[in-house]
Structure 1
């Protein structure tokens, strides 16, 4: 295939690629893989877009070679509020543009359709009334980041690891001002909800009521693959059809994080992540990837699992625990706290 043909093929939309393949594989971790490549603790990964572009491209290339259909830019913290911690708040557009160009180059060289998602993480600030950041200020910050991503050539705006509904709305509003599709994923790491109390079904409801519909929504990061799969069950109704829009996204951590000395080690094996991918399909997800700890080796196992798996019955929570492992932060069922209180008083 010629470079020109490959580049033209990359112009497929997300919906085109979903229609063609059914289930898509998103990439793996950025930060944890960069640490293995020499990123220092406390260093902004986004700086590598300028100082270590070959390493950034090498990770994108490794994910493409492992079979990823979607790769995310190295821009998770590339908004003015996070970058000000490193004195880089004046270089937001530049860092996002360069990151998008690096990912775009690897996607265009793939010889097949690979989409580039512009990673947009939270600002790290609390919105009014809990903090000082206004809704309008959040929209402005996200819009600035998005300008660089769009200029660099991304295909999708990928809003991820969100917790606060108002911040999700602000990011979605900023994304809606562009012509690109966008997705929203949240981190359900606190008894089955986000730290700001949003449930998986609450995210589905939020996505359904945004002024512009997202191309997809779902869960990423969190505390473990089992917890994330249970969250996916909470946002995929029984009998969901394969061509449902928006699609549901599952991008779990590679097993459960464990502290070993000064390092955080993720317990997931390639076999476990392959089984997670199968269960994600059975749970109704149509875009499946890995988050923290997920290496190209894990992703290659997930690629094989997705390609070989025929969607099976919808799993129960017990099925997920039996195959992937125990929940780290299980959802609190209605009335459970009250019942435990009564038992203690007895």
Structure 2
């Protein structure tokens, strides 16, 4: 693990990348079965595309002398999604380790830039729709496999992205704490600022904190446009200070509308950056900026302009 401070340990600014999967599918015209970015490691062209993609963010972080948070391409690398792609248990473990190794090599190639590697966990099912909802115990049992594998590779932290109900988050937190890993929970919201299961962002965060004894080191919001959740972040309420990062979508469309899009909606990078800055101005505890679906290096660059 690195000796660099994690985002919750400092007020320094951090950046993440943007929408890896949407860049690969819509801009690079690379097929990602089941939206699984780890499939890129299966070919030289795919590996080169990943290197080129992240190199832009290393350059941006170096330009501004800030730390880059690198998520492993393992958002879809849990048992159910991998099984759909024909992978078995031992292959899944090896795949997760291979993803970390790839990111470590990329990090070494850009050693002049401060960076952290986050072991990325995705939802068991669809991030946009709550299906086959798990209890917190079932979520712990399910996600422990991937969390333990990523922890064994000495990632700097575990980050669960695009979660849509609290119980799954609680299970992931318990699995990470069992491995003595810093853990981050990132919820997604619908256009009304609520999670897809109907929970308010406030209730989701407070439920996870209460159940896990404040287990997450911090929270994030991802895969939502700023206009979807800005009103949910009531300035001055204590729970909002638990949110350290936002990874926004470029489009203000709903999740259902995005699922139907055959053409990328990359929004307006300048407008998006202004909307992100407005949120940060009201919530100075937020020190991680990045993108999600539809965003690329242009959008994240404008957030730093």
- TM-score (norm. length: structure 1): 0.73
For 2:135 and 2:227, how far apart are their aligned partners in 1?
A: 35
For 1:63 and 1:87, how far apart are their aligned partners in 2?
A: 32
Matched, 1:230 2:220: no
Aligned position for 1:255:
251
SS in 2 for 1:217: strand
Relative to 1, partners in 2 of residues 1:198 and 1:262: Cα closer, same or farther, differing over 3 Å? closer
Q: Relative contact order (C-alpha < 8 Å, sep 6+): which is higher? A: 2
For residues 96-129 of structure 1, the C-alpha deviation after alignment (integer angstroms, 9 at most, x for no partner) is: 1111222222234241321111111100179xxx
The correspondence for 1:50, drawn from 42, 48, 59, is 42
Aligned position for 1:76:
75
Unaligned runs of 5+ in 2: 62-66
Q: In 2, are the aligned partners of 1:29 and 1:293 still within 8 Å (CA)?
A: yes
Aligned position for 2:6:
14
Relative to 1, partners in 2 of residues 1:229 and 1:99: Cα closer, same or farther, differing over 3 Å? farther
Q: In 2, are the aligned partners of 1:39 and 1:45 still within 8 Å (CA)?
A: no
Aligned position for 1:31:
21
For 2:168 and 2:77, how far apart are their aligned partners in 1?
A: 16
For 1:97 and 1:208, how far apart are their aligned partners in 2?
A: 30
SS in 1 for 2:41: helix
For 1:287 and 1:97, how far apart are their aligned partners in 2?
A: 26
Deviation at 1:72, TM superposition (A): 1.1
Matched, 1:220 2:222: yes
SS in 2 for 1:119: strand
- TM-score (norm. length: structure 2): 0.82
Aligned position for 2:64:
none
Segment of structure 1 superposing worse, 78-87 or 184-193: 184-193
For residues 198-243 of structure 1, the C-alpha deviation after alignment (integer angstroms, 9 at most, x for no partner) is: 2111123124322452121131103x22113333x14x535899xx
SS in 2 for 1:256: coil
For residues 283-337 of structure 1, the C-alpha deviation after alignment (integer angstroms, 9 at most, x for no partner) is: 3122221111111122122222xxxxxxxxxxxxxxxxxxxxxxxxxxxxxxxxx
Relative to 1, partners in 2 of residues 1:65 and 1:230: Cα closer, same or farther, differing over 3 Å? farther
Aligned position for 2:182:
181
For 1:94 and 1:239, how far apart are their aligned partners in 2?
A: 41
For 1:261 and 1:150, how far apart are their aligned partners in 2?
A: 36
Unaligned runs of 5+ in 1: 1-7, 305-346
Deviation at 1:41, TM superposition (A): 5.5
For residues 232-287 of structure 1, the C-alpha deviation after alignment (integer angstroms, 9 at most, x for no partner) is: x14x535899xx6x443211101334779962322422212321331131131222
Relative to 1, partners in 2 of residues 1:262 and 1:190: Cα closer, same or farther, differing over 3 Å? closer
For 1:262 and 1:160, how far apart are their aligned partners in 2?
A: 22
Which structure would you say has the larger Rg? 1
Q: In 2, are the aligned partners of 1:57 and 1:103 still within 8 Å (CA)?
A: no
